[in-house]
Amino acid sequence: MNAMTSVTDSFPVEEIRALFPAIQKAGDFIFLENAGGSQVPQSVVDAVANHLIDNNVQRMARYAHSEGVDRKLAEARESVAMLVNAYRPEEISFGLNATSFIRLVSLGISKMLGERNEIVITDMDHDANIATWTALEADGAKIVWWHMREDGRLHTEDLVPLVGDRTRLVACTVTAHAIGTIVDVASVGRIAHAAGAEVFLDSVHYGPHGLIDVQAWDCDYLVCSGYKNFSPHMGFLWGRYEVLCRLPTFKEDFIPDMPPYKIEVGTFPYENVAGMNAAVLYLESVGRRFLNGENSRRAAITAAMAAIRGYEVTLSRAMIAVLKRHGATIYGISDEALLDQRVPTICFNIGGITPQDIATDMGKAGIGLRDGHMFAPRLMKRLGLAMETGAVRVSMVHYNTLDEVARFDAKLGEIIARRRG
């Protein structure tokens, strides 16, 4: 038995797929656009529905429905704190999406710039983690670019000379949403902190693929979005408690000046936060299939993400082999030996056929994927691609299968033959 067979055999993908009603309902349809939002297990659907039936009221009142909201928010905070390995649950704030949290943090930082006014950002990131920071130039920030190399990776040795006693913050992604590269964020944490700077991590794309560990990464802020993490639309911010205490935020006078309240002003979709709680419980249930020995919630999450990483490498390997066979230009890591440095989010072009034609033909054939700029204008420029056309992206998660990759392979062959024919 070769290594690839053994990982795919031991990963219970069919049992997992049976837990996702959208996958069951979709029949032969193939979800290859999970970077645009993953599907949710039935337990998440139930958590959202139950919240709407039992607790669709405002929090902090003295009756059972409302007390239930408070209890569920506290449970979700505990779960998400477990998911990211927070030091304490109060470090988790809930809200609408990742972008609004990046903006909230950046506005706070803009008020504390002073002598340390340099913000390091990358050209591999989603524009949500770029434009939010470049907007601070109006407040006196100086933007310093950490450029991606030709190999589609951010090399931490390139970061070292960019960081010094004027660096206020390094903001970067944990994993590129367009090309799938994983960044060595633990080294980013070390380099930035050695210079007295803070670290802001965008974990929106990494979340469904690997273990988040804010303590091991030694970062200061981290954002995630529910919809990529087997949950409905919502976002959360983790921030080191003392750092959040210092961060200036807007809040009404009646709101306590402490995390998470000073961050969570106004109402947010409580039912979707209940869904995010269920998504963490789902991941734990996946992990318990692989645990032998320690039985804590964090151990289950760790086991789940390790199993998911291993399985996803087989998906990357298979998809990259297919794309190479069809002569695709792959943006980012395609070297067999480096597959553990990427997730199965793969961006490519096929010579002589537009990304739009490929995506249209695939869509008609029941394969959902994305074409275009991937909301990353700087990255498109770096890759020499036009914003109007961009590239094609296939993005898989742990409920995708090698059989789906094979069906994609066959369809791509047909499209190339017909379009070039």
Interface with ligand PLP by CB under 6 A: which residues? 97-99, 126, 128-129, 173, 177, 202, 204-205, 225, 235
Beta carbon of residue 27, minimum distance to ligand PLP (angstroms, whole number): 27
| 120 or 318: CB nearest ligand PLP | 120
| 220 or 361: CB nearest ligand PLP | 220
| 55 or 97: CB nearest ligand PLP | 97
In whole angstroms, give the CA distance from residue 68 to residue 175. Answer: 36
Beta carbon of residue 100, minimum distance to ligand PLP (angstroms, whole number): 7
Beta carbon of residue 378, minimum distance to ligand PLP (angstroms, whole number): 13
Q: Are strands 221-225 and 198-202 parallel, antiparallel or unpaired?
A: parallel
β partners of residue 31: 368
- Give whole-number Cα distances, 399 to 202, 234, 416, in Å: 23, 22, 27
In whole angstroms, give the CA distance from residue 225 to residue 232. Answer: 9
Beta carbon of residue 218, minimum distance to ligand PLP (angstroms, whole number): 20
| 97 or 249: CB nearest ligand PLP | 97
C-beta separation of 137 from 179 below 8 A: no
Beta carbon of residue 103, minimum distance to ligand PLP (angstroms, whole number): 9
Beta carbon of residue 188, minimum distance to ligand PLP (angstroms, whole number): 15
C-beta separation of 393 from 35 below 8 A: yes
| 68 or 180: CB nearest ligand PLP | 180
Which two tokens mark 8?
Answer: 């795919």
Give the number of other CB atoms < 10 A from CB of residue 340: 12
Beta carbon of residue 268, minimum distance to ligand PLP (angstroms, whole number): 13
- Could you tell me which of 277, 174, 279 has the C-alpha nearest to residue 230? 279
| 48 or 128: CB nearest ligand PLP | 128
In whole angstroms, give the CA distance from residue 170 to residue 82. Answer: 25
Question: 253-261: which pairs have CB atoms within 8 A and are 24 or more residues apart?
Answer: 258/90, 259/90, 259/91, 259/93, 260/77, 260/90, 260/91, 260/92, 260/93, 260/94
Residues whose CB falls within 8 Å of the CB of residue 73, separated by 6 or more in sequence, listed in order: 59, 94, 270, 273
Beta carbon of residue 122, minimum distance to ligand PLP (angstroms, whole number): 11
C-beta separation of 374 from 176 below 8 A: no
